[in-house]
Amino acid sequence: MKNCNMGTVNHAEETLKLRELVVEKIAFGEKLINSIEKYKSLEGIQKLQRKISQELNFLKQIDKTGKIKKEHIQCSNLTHFSAVVKTISSVSKCISVNKVMMLDDRKITIDIICDDGLTWMKVIARNPKSLSQICMGDASYGVRSVVDHAEDYVECAKLNPCLFQIPKVVFVFVNGLGNNLATKIESFGIRVEGARLRDVDIDEDDDVDTTSFVQREKSDDINNSNLSTPDISHITKINLDVSAMLAYVSSVCNGSASLYEFSVRVLAQQAEWERLRPQKPILDEFFKGKKMYCCQTAKDSFISIVNTVGGTNEKIRAEEFLQRITVLPDDATAEDIVEDNSKNDLFRHVQLTPDKTLLVGGKIKERSLVIFTFGDRIGAVTVTSNDGFVRAARQQGIDFVVFVHESRALTEQKEQARAVGPRF
């Protein structure tokens, strides 16, 4: 009974704290609306006011009903609107906010147009790590990354010259961004404003299970071969996960492990593992005599990651490796492949059926589920280092047919920036 009472008290305290935060957000939003009155002659400012009002009405409604969740506060757009208003006050000759432009058949919203139309600005108030993760593809299906927005802004600016000039594009990162991401955005010719943060850079596919590095450092046995499906030597089709493609083209798997010691703990650990257990020979041996496939989602994610954090040679290896891989639509099945499947007894029935599905959450990410399910449908062994997904799927009763190897990050950019020096 005492434990029940404690639980009730804790829940009440949590609810009270959430309500206090909602009240603070509402006060913040009302103050924000008042602060933009001085810009009332600015094109698009009324639209911005309406958006803020809609956000306030939503917060007031959940405050009234008491159905408050932490996500309501964390995902509030008021932070972004506030950043836009603050940026307006710092620019010169602002002529429009929330300006909608057309790019092909899509609408592109330009946050701020200033310098009499010669500068377009996008204001980003997201958490820096979240920005990098989304660029790695770790987001719900359809969520566009800041790199996607960069491409849109540049392309749209070319189609809408002002005073016979292509408008300059500026991205303002209110909370900063990772070094690698800043470099990638600048490669489009965009000026980046905001603190550059080294510790939020992401070096590899975030779906790869990296949460167990600490435990692994305490043990000599980190081999994931026990997770691999036994008796799969006769299966001649391979489905490549993003993590497998990254490992195959990674600089650390192609010679740099013996040349550098890295100051970043995760990279240093992977380099040490690579010296002890080189992964590329293992993958090459497994690939022998087999046909390699990947789905469109895996290819797109792989290219995005390589383009964002890959080095020159890693990009070259990625292009060459993709030429060896047959890319199919995400929803492809074994019938789409011209091969003799008669020997693949393991695939008389696919793992996932309408009455047997996986729940997204935790280590079961949306993108990984698409990739593993693709391998299941085409009757291929999924090659992956995402042991977290494999374990989580097994806990839900799904045993995918897999070959699991050790994870390796893209490291070439770090060999100059963060390597402490030649090993030999």
pLDDT digits (tens, 9 = 90+) for 191-227: 999 988 865 655 444 444 433 333 333 333 344 557 8
pTM over 0.85: no
pLDDT top residue among 280 and 226: 280
331-385 pLDDT tens trace: 998 887 765 444 444 444 566 655 567 887 777 888 999 999 999 999 999 999 9
CA nearest to 291, candidates 333, 237, 240, 347: 237
421 conformational bin, left if phi > 0, alpha if psi -120 to 50, beta if neither:
left
Please give the Cα distance from 196 to 411 (Å, whole number).
19
Taken in order of first residue, the domains within the chain and their CATH numbers are: 1-78 (no CATH), 91-202 (3.40.1350), 213-422 (3.40.50.1010)
SS3 10: helix
Does residue 283 register a pLDDT over 80?
yes
Nearest Cα to Cα of residue 133 among 183, 71, 203: 203
Which position has the token pair 């779906």?
Answer: 207
Question: Rounded to whole angstroms, what are the CA distances from 244 to 49, 103, 169, 253, 398?
Answer: 48, 35, 36, 11, 21
Residue located via tokens 């010719």: 189
Token look-up 């600016």 returns: 157
- CA–CA separation, 341 and 331 (whole Å): 18
Phi, psi (deg, nearest 5) at residue 46: -65, -35
